[in-house]
Structure 1
Amino acid sequence: MKDYRNDVVWKEMQVFLPEQNRLSAGTMPEEYFIPVHDMNIHIDHYKVSKPKATVILFHGVGGNGRLLSFIAVRLKISGYEVICPDFPLYGCTQYSGTITYDIWVKCGCEILSFYQRQAARSIFLFGLSAGGMLAYQTASECPEICGVITTCILDQRNPYITKKTAANPLMGAAAKPFLGAMNKIAGKINMPMKAIANMKAIANNSELADLLMKDKKSSGVSVPIAFVHSMLNPALKIEPEQFISCPFLLVHPGLDKWTDVSLSRIFYDKLGCIKEIHILENAGHFPIEEKGLLQLEEHCLHFLEAYRNS
């Protein structure tokens, strides 16, 4: 099975990160696969002795589990066990058939259940980018989550949000009717995600954005039309007003050129649970800028400490 040992993108990404957030010999994750239905889900596992809690990180449609090392390393150093799965279509996960977003939600629940069975400790979900809604949906369907953290929370059922996050205004206006029609006749056909979503805005550093968009394991991936159609029409089990099962933290980048905080607030403001929001200063959608990254770490650790079971 392929893993990240011979992958160059995550290695080249390190130079864009503050030194304290880079992977080193002492912070490298253990790699392995877990079976979920007919797939082998790749896992980056940042292990610590006597972990305070477990944090499962969900990537979005421009990343993979290894690219989340920028925050996983700091959580590990602070005493938290961190799990970074690759969802099918991305990273090193092995899969077959046509992948839809509904399968991602099922994977999220299965991955969570797997680690709940491993040890009786607090578990948090942390979703970055589109992983934010994925974390919310997983928490909605699964019990005993201590908290959800997201960098954005986008309800793509809202046409305004689809329009604002698409690759261009024409795609934003036509995405739902076009993909709905195409899904019926050609749902298995792949499209580059960067042709659909505004992937060039994934990072404020243009060199890093270019690196990721060329990566066939992250922003340069092609996905089935069925995947995009289902992602734009998610089936939420619990609407935000009724979501009270666990606390929610939104740590939104302040200079996000892809998903402005106003888009996340449409959903966040409706949440019925205990919630808090913090803006990461000078941080882009992929929040690697040092000041915002330090704030991300600080807010996450405060939240984890407040809501983990002692």
Structure 2
Amino acid sequence: MAIKGADIIKIGETLVKEYGDKWTEKPEQEQLAFFREYGLKIELKKLKKDLEQFRVKFDHWFSETSLYKENKIEPTIDILRDKGYIYEQDGATWFRSTEFGDDKDRVLVKQDNSYTYLSPDIAYHKNKLARGFDKLINIWGGADHHGYIPRMRAAIQALGYDADTLEVEIIQMVNLFENGEKVKMSKRTGKAVTLRELMEEVGIDAMRYFFVMRSADSHLDFDMDLAKSESNDNPVYYVQYAHARICTMLKQAKEKGIEYSPSNGQLLQSDKAEELLKKLGGEFTQVVADAAVNRTPHRMTQYIFELAAHLHSFYNAEKVINEEDMEATKLVLP
């Protein structure tokens, strides 16, 4: 069978350079086990590198395979069995999830003795709780996962924890658009567009802003052309331009011997200035608190955009640095 994936081919070439024909005479199962582990390490290293560049850091990486290798699944099912939440029927092992509000009981071990997806998931959550975490927040992709929440919450309760120990955030898919058309495949590989490709195409700042400017449960149409444009229609450019204006004002003021001081605020008397100060001082702390407590980071991007709009409005309406009357200079922005 010919495998044409660019990543697979590259891994194969690396294998040949490193091991030559050492693995050609090995039993097929041994080959597959080694190649799977070898390829996984390479791909995982790439993922970690891309995420690090994207400025996203995971404190701990967990492998589902370890649940099988370390025999964590069967003991977890035994705990549920000891509590009376497991029964055998039609050659399968069932979890009485209906006792905790699920719409039907769920199979954990199929007739062929293989586990369903739910079994390792329960074992993983049991493992994480055993490591001392008192709040589990799962981020799942796609609305089709909504039905999985009740059975997972049932498992948490059956293990002896409160239902609200588990919180699930359902995020929606991101659609990429370029030249007004939906981008279905990568121009480079003919497959799904990767995080790295998008970073290289539109830039990290634009990606981070666009991804977080809507609530996680809302669909996002990511306009790649807009993200790259240098116009006020691009929210990233609009916000960054506000920051650039602030830096320019401070630089020009310093060149004229004016140092920033919060006391300069008393000279501000216009409506635009008052609106800006109200937005800056009156809302900032609450917005940050709300975004953190409710896990709604899009509140921050909305606030930043609105703040930038007030700054631009103020800048266009006021003579910030008044060379004719330095005492009246309205330099108030840090």
Common fold: TM-score over 0.5: no
Which of the pair has the greater relative contact order for Cα pairs under 8 Å at 6+ separation? 1
Question: By percentage of residues, which structure has more helix?
Answer: 2
TM-score by length of 1: 0.28
Which structure would you say has the larger Rg? Answer: 2
Compare the two structures and name the one with the higher strand fraction: 1
